[in-house]
A = this chain, B = another copy of it.
Amino acid sequence: MRDVAVIGIGCTKFGEWWDRSFRNLFVEAGVSAIEDANLAGEQIDAMYVGNMSAGRFIEQEHIGALIADYAGLASEHIPSTRVEAACASGGLAFREAVISVASGMSNIVVAAGVEKMTDVDTSLSTDALAGAADREWEGFAGATFPGLYAMIANDYIHRYGLTREQLAQVAVKNHYNGARNPIAQFQKEITLSTVTNSTMVADPLRLFDCSPITDGAAAVVVAPLEMAKKFTDTPIKVLATAQASDTIALHDRRDISTMDASVAAGNRAFKMAGLERKDIDFVEVHDCFTIAEICAIEDLGFCKKGEAGKFTEEGATALGGQIPVNTSGGLKSCGHPVGATGIKQVCEAVLQLRGEAGKRQVDGAEIGMTHNVGGTGATVAAHIFGRG
């Protein structure tokens, strides 16, 4: 397999964009990424796009062709493929782009992610999101995503003694970081009491424990490492791509507060990269809910099981800490346009490794990681990046 590098990135501002369409959003992100890579559109060999549920959000399937068309590439007849894995759709689209370049099938490949969630009312979007869980055994029984993650949180609290303040600190940290990220949906710092006094959604998860409904798109361009220097002075090398699955229903898991697919994908990524946990300078993890970040940093091996609350409370995951987590602001503060999130994580890793992350820059960052989860952990994508 050939070595692969990221040579361009682009991202819309995430938010509630009632005046903009699905098409507008991905075109903006795609054009930004292509310009960032100093490419002409005709140089693109293939596209992969992560999208969870355009079928339900905008009644549109066939997203790969739609994107190639509205990106102005229909006359080139380039292959364009949609990949779906619920909230991990972006991470898997990136992975397929990497595999395509690694195989030699393509040279210049765009991996994009997009979701337009605010064109429908909240009951429909909540139900569409429930399609990421087991519809027959969870959705039809009334389980929503806040409800499922609340079960994980309750199990975790019961077993490991996580405090309300430790959990809230995840949100406080991520809003602090997001306040330093121009694309974040929420750019205001919050305090522990903002979280602990917010509306209850699904006990123990309150409003500020939850990522929001968001519109947005992100795109990156990958190329063989050996060609990358033609396009950019700062190619970012893909050191590992890994993916793992688990049962779709939470109740079928071995342990509901350990995501075995995160453990498996993490282990595979570290093995592929030939690196250890201590080599990682920062990590973007999938914090769809605060409890998800707590589980993620343990399941990826950055601290021991049951200790992530204390680890967070002590500032180990903050900017300047032992292992900065979600420097972008995470899903919590950036927002979570489902299909776009996995690609936005890659954009953040690239910015950090280029030294272009502004006020949230991790000093001297040389190696970073991303972790993107579908559903309650039925799909996990993990990637490791290094300076090219």
Residues of A participating in the B interface, judged by any CB pair closer than 8 Å:
1, 21, 23, 46, 52-53, 55-56, 58-66, 68-69, 73-74, 77-86, 92, 95-96, 99-100, 102-105, 127-128, 130-136, 139, 243-249, 252, 260-261, 264-265, 374-375, 378-379
How far, in Å, is A77 (CB) from chain B's closest CB? Answer: 4
**Given A131-B61, A134-B66, A245-B77, CB of A85 within 8 Å of CB of B85:** no
Is A55's CB under 8 angstroms from B131's CB? Answer: yes
Q: Which of B65, B133, B139 contacts A375 (CB 8 A)?
A: B65
**Given A69-B248, A248-B69, CB of A1 within 8 Å of CB of B59:** no
Is A65's CB under 8 angstroms from B103's CB? Answer: no
How far, in Å, is A122 (CB) from chain B's closest CB? Answer: 17
**Given A55-B53, A55-B128, A103-B1, CB of A243 within 8 Å of CB of B81:** yes
Is A86's CB under 8 angstroms from B61's CB? Answer: yes
* Cα(A136)–Cα(B99), bound, Å: 33
Query: Assuming A59-B127, A61-B86, A69-B248, what are 20 further A-B pairs, CB within 8 angstroms?
Result: A56-B56, A59-B135, A61-B132, A62-B85, A62-B86, A62-B248, A63-B84, A64-B84, A65-B246, A66-B378, A69-B246, A74-B245, A74-B247, A77-B265, A78-B245, A79-B245, A81-B92, A83-B84, A99-B105, A103-B103
Question: Which residues of chain B are within 8 angstroms of A56 by Cβ–Cβ distance?
Answer: 55-56
Is B260's CB under 8 angstroms from A77's CB? Answer: yes
* Cα(A104)–Cα(B68), bound, Å: 28
Is A68's CB under 8 angstroms from B245's CB? Answer: yes
Question: Which residues of chain B are within 8 angstroms of A104 by Cβ–Cβ distance?
Answer: 1, 102-103
Question: Which residues of chain B are within 8 angstroms of A246 by Cβ–Cβ distance?
Answer: 65, 69, 74, 77
How far, in Å, is A264 (CB) from chain B's closest CB? Answer: 4
* Cα(A106)–Cα(B374), bound, Å: 22
Is B53's CB under 8 angstroms from A61's CB? Answer: yes
Question: Which residues of chain B are within 8 angstroms of A133 by Cβ–Cβ distance?
Answer: 62
In the complex, residue of chain B having the shortest beta-carbon distance to the beta carbon of A51: B84
Question: Which residues of chain B are within 8 angstroms of A96 by Cβ–Cβ distance?
Answer: 81, 96
